[in-house]
Structure 1
Amino acid sequence: MAWAPPEDKQFATKNFALRRCLKWLACDIGSFSGFTVVNAVVRSISVDEQFPAELPEIERARWQTMTVYQRSLAANRIKAFVGWQAGELSLADALVLAKLSKSRFYRLAAKWHDTPNLDAVGAFTGTAGGKSSRLDPLVVNALQAVVPEVVRLNQGSSVRRLVNLMKERVKIPEDDLPSELRLRKFVEDELRRVSATGMAGHAIRFDCTAIDIPQADRRPFIMFAAIDTGTRLVLGVAVLESATAIKGYAMAAADALDRIPSDFGGLSWTDRVARIEITAGADIDPSMELVESLSQRVGALVQLARAPKRFGRYLRRSVGDGIGRILFTPARTLTGDAAPNTKDMTPWMFENAQGAVREAVSAYNKAILATLTDAVSKPVPGELILALKHVASQ
């Protein structure tokens, strides 16, 4: 008598052992225990359960032990990572598909980029059905607050050392801290986040601020910059007499287009730009128009900073309080006299101010590049060049 699989799809889906048996019986194996099986058709295996082509073959055995939910989650996250890295999916669509927060998406995407396997997609987290011990939310918040600084200020240190430094920095009694394994996960997650966001071109910021070089009318010159947040390099720079963002950023973008091929071509550039942030100048409406037009031309998230204390915020985060001997004085960007560190209010000619800023930026970039010598060279993303050309054309 010929045996046929049950038509109840829900039954076949839930019963894992039966599904594996049916898959085996789907082969034309002739006779088994007195029953004859001829080309049994297994209709209950869904498309979501198919083994993804992006995974290495060694993961197939592990894939077969996963639940239906885990397989579906893993497959969708692989599609999200591959699509986002190839520029075929926007970040927003990839986040929905992967069912991840932005920060965790970046961490797992970096892990997938380095080692494409099932561990990288995080599909096992929270799906095993067991009840895990909960951490004190206050302890978690305290650890998350200090781990970025610990990692940033101790590059190259081992995970074990970073864990110990984090424990010292957080100042929580040892008995109240999570296990060593959990602490290592905090550090490893931050290292993966830095890996995902630290590549050149991942996020670009346009910023402007007054500097401590006086003009003839005692007002300070204004510096405009295009900053790469991952490497902290100043890709392009410009100087103007006023905080007219459209003109200043156009000049800085043009300078970046000149510098990238000659100075930054050997960097490990990201596959695509994820975010572009622009500080509005005194010309807020044209700045908003620039953001809108740029958003229509690139797939990256483009945002405008227009808070009253916006000037120099991005520069100070990436570069510091100044560059070379030139100090940033953001509070004087729109009004007020220059505030030179030397108290010397002798006015500078425009050409001299511009030359001094360019020289300081070149020396700063040279020092940064010296720390990036181990990076594997990757091409500059076309989306970055497109964005810079658009800004430069304004």
Structure 2
Amino acid sequence: MADAPVDLETLLMRPPTEEEARSWAVLSPALRTRAVDRITLLRRWWGERDGLTAKEAAAMAGVIPNRFYQMAAAWKRAPGLAAVGAFAGTPAPRSPRIHPMVNASLQANVVKVVADGGGKSVEAMRRRLEELVAADLRARQLAETGSSGAGPAIPSPTVVRAVITRELNRVGEAQLLGESIAMDCCPTAMRSPAGEPWALFAIIDRGTLRILGTSVGSLDDSVEGYSLAARRALVALAPVGPSLGPWARRTRRVDMVVGRDEAACDALIARYGNVEGAIEFKAVTRPRRFGSMLRRYVGERMGRVDLRPGWATAAPPMADGDPAFARWDAWERTDFEAQAWNETKVIERAAKGHERPPDELVALIRLLVGDGQIDPGTLR
């Protein structure tokens, strides 16, 4: 096959363009063979895959998965030699390198420009961003040379618009479900029959402020508490039934408030760090951590569940007449109030996202579920 002559029109199933014909004429036999193999692979990818995964296809094409996805998308848009990277000749012109000082100013100022942009057009934001960058560069030049003369050049309007578009996309992604997750635990006013405050464990979506899962337990065993909350979250992430979406394309980070079982939490995070495709999963260990994210994203209370972060150090004695809750009853209340909270957090805008949760989030939730050594007898 490698040495057999290949008719380009037969390969493409259409007459080649002039550019394709010129490129094919100067390709080496090895590059022609690679082009044939990739075209065959992409036709299979967009046809009968027969269980072919992207990872396997990327290996067959000799590229990383991200590059294969780009190649597949290019082929779907316009099947041809360009889609499989088979053009020969002069290399594509490289974009001019942006001066590091200019790039730093662009990245620093674009966040503010987009945040203040409101309903402004990209063009209006471009002009504002260029103004801020120019001011930065003049100040830097004056400080370093004592002159406000010409310094590094600001890139073309097309490049500046691209910087703004990336930031707009980042902001939009951050408002979708699953992009950033906060896991928190905090004592509540609900007491166990023994008088100990039940701690609320919650898995919170930062972008939408929705609560994906809750449980109650003890700060002495937060691994178990989060495991039970993760079981509830799996219901929200399940691939059946209505989607909570729109979901983000991927999960960027997860922060977990560590209970008093710090060694067990450290071991859990270390184990997760060895998982293929692990995302940023950070422990929150500062002294006044309990309830810090719940209060930030939910408030001082969640319906009838009152947070008592100060009780993590010492809870007051239980007064006469104070109600006592079996663990299951306390958990049932938190579930009800979390659902009521979520009903107030409907995504009203026409957000563009995915129907199903990011794979990274599902994998982490499953790991949390599997790590909790749960005794069913403690739930009542």
TM-score range, shorter-chain basis? 0.5 to 0.7
Query: Which of 233, 241, 244 is residue 256 of structure 1 equivalent to?
Result: 233
Query: What displacement does 1:146 show?
Result: 3.3
Match of 2:281 in 1: 303
Relative distance call for 1:144 and 1:24 in structure 2 (3 A) is: closer
> Which residue matches 1:363?
340
3-state secondary structure, aligned to 1:369: coil
The 1-side partners of 2:163 and 2:299 are apart by 27
Which of 143, 150, 154 pairs up with 2:109? 143
Report the CA distance between 1:319 and its aligned residue.
Answer: 3.9
| Cα deviation digits, residues 336-365 of structure 1 (max 9, x gap) | 337xxxxx9964433564344323311221
CA RMSD after TM alignment: 5.5
Whether 1:350 aligns to 2:325 is yes
Query: SS of 1:237's equivalent?
Result: strand
Quote the offset at 1:305 in angstroms: 0.6
Task: Kindly report which structure 2 residues correspond to 1:375-390, keeping only aligned pairs within 5 A, or say none.
Answer: 378-381=355-358, 384-390=361-367
Question: Would the alpha carbon gap of residues 45 and 232 (structure 1) be closer, same or farther in structure 2, given more than 3 Å must change?
Answer: same
Counterpart in the other structure of 2:125: 163
Q: TM-score scaled to structure 1, two decimals?
A: 0.54
- The structural deviation recorded for 1:24 is 3.0
When residues 224 and 129 of structure 1 are mapped into structure 2, their CA distance, relative to the original with a 3 A threshold, is: closer
Cα deviation code 1:276-302 (max 9, x no counterpart) = 443321101111222234445563325
1:49 and 1:225 map into 2 onto residues whose CA distance is: 51
**Does the 8 A contact of 1:206 with 1:278 survive in 2?**
yes
Contact 1:219 1:336 in 2 (8 A): no
Change (3 A) 1:43 1:320: farther
Partner of 2:262: 284
Corresponding position of 1:78:
none
Which deviations, in whole Å up to 9, do the C-alpha atoms of 1:148-174 show, x marking residues without a partner?
Answer: 7547xx5xx34459939x88xxx9799
Amino acid at match of 2:257: T
Contact persistence 2:123–2:161 (CA under 8 A): no
Contact 2:253–2:280 under 8 Å retained in 1: yes
Contact 2:251 2:358 in 1 (8 A): yes
Alignment of 1:69-148 (within 5 A): 128=94, 130=96, 140=106, 143-144=109-110, 146=112
Determine the C-alpha separation between the residues in 2 that align with 1:381 and 1:269. Answer: 7
Whole-angstrom distance in 1 between the partners of 2:185 and 2:64: 32
* Correspondence for 1:341: none
Structure 2 length-normalised TM = 0.55
Bigger CA drift: 348-357 or 171-180?
171-180
Amino acid at match of 2:259: G
Q: Secondary structure at the match of 2:186?
A: strand
Please give the per-residue CA displacement for 1:72-114, whole angstroms capped at 9, x wherever unaligned.
Answer: xxxxxxxxxx969x9989xxx979x98xxxxxxxxxx9xx99x
Structure 1 residues 188 and 239 mapped into 2: Cα distance closer, same or farther (>3 Å)? Answer: same
CA distance in 2, matches of 1:377, 1:265: 10
CA distance 1:364–1:263, shift in 2 (3 Å): farther
Give secondary structure in 2 for the equivalent of 1:291.
helix
Q: Counterpart amino acid of 2:325?
A: F
Q: Residue type of the partner of 1:227? A: I
Indicate conservation of the 8 Å contact 2:180/2:251, yes or no: yes
Conserved in 2, the CA contact under 8 Å of 1:218 and 1:345?
A: no
Give the count of matched residue pairs.
301
